[in-house]
Amino acid sequence: MKTTLSEKIFKQIRHTMGLLQKERFVQAAKGRKDGVYQGMDRVQVRVLGDLLEKDNQPAAELLKSMHVHQNMAEFALSRLEAEGYISRAGSEADRHVIEVTLTDKGRAIAEKQKASREETLTTCFEGLNEEEGTQLLTLLEKWNANLTTKVKAENEAEFAEADENGFPCGGDFSADSRAQMMQMMQGMRGEHGGGFGHFSMNPMKMMKMWR
C-alpha cells in the first residue's frame, strides 16, 4: 500500500518526538549525576526557568503559565521554597499580591539547567542555517495551530480537562514528587507543586512550544 505524504510526515514527527524523549532522558541522567536537577521534576525545572527569564512574578501569573493542575503547581512552588530556591513575599506595590523570586541558590541552579538545555538544543539543531530554522518554526507553528483548533473544536470539554490536568507536563512528575504531593494533599484534607553551533538563530525560541 502506498504511503501518503501526510503519513510520512507524521512518522517523522513521531520519530523526532521519540528521539527528543531519549535525549531528555540522557540529559536528565547526566543532570542527576552532575547535580544539575537536584531531584526536581519537570514542573519545578520550568518554574526556575520561567523565573530566570522574568523574576519577581506574581504567584497567580506564574501558576497560570504552568498549564498544569493547580495542586501540582502549588506543590512545585512549596518544594522549591522549602529547598531555598525561591522565596515568596507580598509585592511592595500591593501587599495582597504574592510575588515569587529566585534566591541566589535558585538562580545558580537555574543557570546550570539552562546551559544543559542549550546543550541539547545545539545537538538538535546542528546543521540548520537561519533560513531553514525559520522555515521549520513557521511550519511547526502552522501545524500546531491547525491541530489545536481542530482538537479543541471537536473535543472542547476533553481539551479543557487535559489542559487543567497538565498534559503533557503533568505526566512528568517523578515517583518521589508524586508521593510527596500525595502526602501534602492528604495532610490538607486531614486539616481541612550566537553560540549554538551551526544554528545561528537562538533555538530556545523554537523549543518553547515543546516545554
Residue 159's CATH number: 1.10.10.10
Q: Tell me the per-residue pLDDT of 100-129, one tens digit each, with 9 for 90 and over.
A: 999 999 999 999 999 988 887 888 888 889
- Tell me, yes or no, whether 155 lies in a domain: yes
For the full predicted model, state whether its pTM sits above 0.85: no
**10 located within any domain:** no
Which cell numbers hold the place of 115? 546551559
Residue in the block written with cell 512545585: 76
Does residue 117 lie in a domain region?
yes
* Residue 169 CB coordination number (10 Å): 19
- Domain of 68 in residue numbering reads as 39-210
Peptide bond into 168 cis (omega under 30): yes
Cβ atoms within 10 Å, residue 60 = 11
Domain count across the chain: 1
| Residue 17 lies inside a defined structural domain of this protein | no
Place 69 in a pLDDT band, splitting at 50, 70 and 90.
confident
pLDDT at 188: 40
Would you say residue 11 lies in a domain? Answer: no
Q: Mean pLDDT lowest for which of 30-34, 60-64, 112-116?
A: 30-34
